[in-house]
Amino acid sequence: MITIKKHIDQLFNDIPVTEESLLMKEEILQSLEDKVDVLMAQGKSEEDAINKAIVELGDLTDLREELAEYRVKIPKSYLAWTHFQFSLIGAALIIGLLLFINVYYTPNVLWVIFPAFGIVWWPLAMYFRCLRLQGRAMN
C-alpha cells in the first residue's frame, strides 16, 4: 500500500495544502486501498491489484484543476510595490555605508554624491515599474 500512497502524494504535490485537498486526498487513498483489497480477494497478486487500481483511477486532471483554483494569487502590482520598498531600503543602506566610508576616510572630499546618483536610479526605476503595473491593473 506504500506504492499507492506515493502515487497519490505525487498526484497532489503541486496542489496547495488546504482542508479540502487533504480530505480529497484521504478519500482517494481510502478508495484505492479498498479497490486493491477487493481485487486481491478476487485472486490477483498485490502488485497486479495496485497497478489495476491505479489505472482504473485514471487521470485526476479535473479534480486537480478544481483544487488548484484555491491557490492564493498575489497581484503583480503588490509584488512590484514590495520590490520598490526593498529598493528604497537597499539604496538607503548602500548610500549610508558609502557616506560613512566617505566621512571616515576622506572627510575633506565629498565624493559620495557621485555614486549616490547612480544608486538612486534603482528605486526610481522600481517606482515607475509600479506605476506601469498599476496602470495595467486598472485597465
pLDDT one digit per residue (tens) for the chain, 139 residues: 677 788 878 777 777 777 777 888 888 888 888 888 888 888 888 888 888 887 887 766 766 666 666 555 667 777 888 999 999 999 999 999 999 999 999 999 999 999 999 999 999 999 999 888 887 655 5
On whether both 100 and 44 belong to a single domain, the answer is: no
Q: Which domain holds residue 132?
A: 81-136
Give the Cα separation of 137 and 114 in Å (integer): 36
- Determine the residue type at 68: A
Residue 77 CA, distance from chain mean position = 17
Task: Output the DSSP codes for 4-26.
Answer: HHHHHHHHTTTS---HHHHHHHH
Q: Give CA–CA dist 81/131, Å, rounded.
A: 9
62/89 same-domain check: no
Q: What local confidence, expressed as pLDDT, does residue 69 receive?
A: 60
User: Where are any strands of DSSP class E within 1-139?
Assistant: none
Q: What is the pLDDT of residue 68?
A: 62
Q: Are residues 66 and 100 part of one domain?
A: no
Total length of the chain: 139
Instruction: State whether 66 and 85 are in the same domain.
Output: no
Q: Euclidean distance between the first and final Cα of the chain, in Å?
A: 52
Domain final residue, candidates 71, 95, 125: 71
Same domain assignment for residues 56 and 93: no
Residue 97 and residue 55 share a domain: no
The number of domains in the chain is: 2
- Whether 39 is in a domain gets the answer yes
| 3-state SS record for 83-95 | HHHHHHHHHHHHH
Do residue 65 and residue 2 come from a single domain?
A: yes
Question: Which residue, of 34, 51, 71, is where some domain finishes?
Answer: 71
Residues 50 and 92 in one domain: no
Same domain, 57 and 98: no
Residue 31 lies in a domain: yes
Q: What is the pLDDT of residue 78?
A: 77
Last residue of a domain, one of 71, 93, 116: 71
Q: Is residue 76 part of a domain?
A: no
3-state SS of the chain: helix, strand, coil percent to 5? Answer: 80, 0, 20
d(CA 61, CA 68): 10
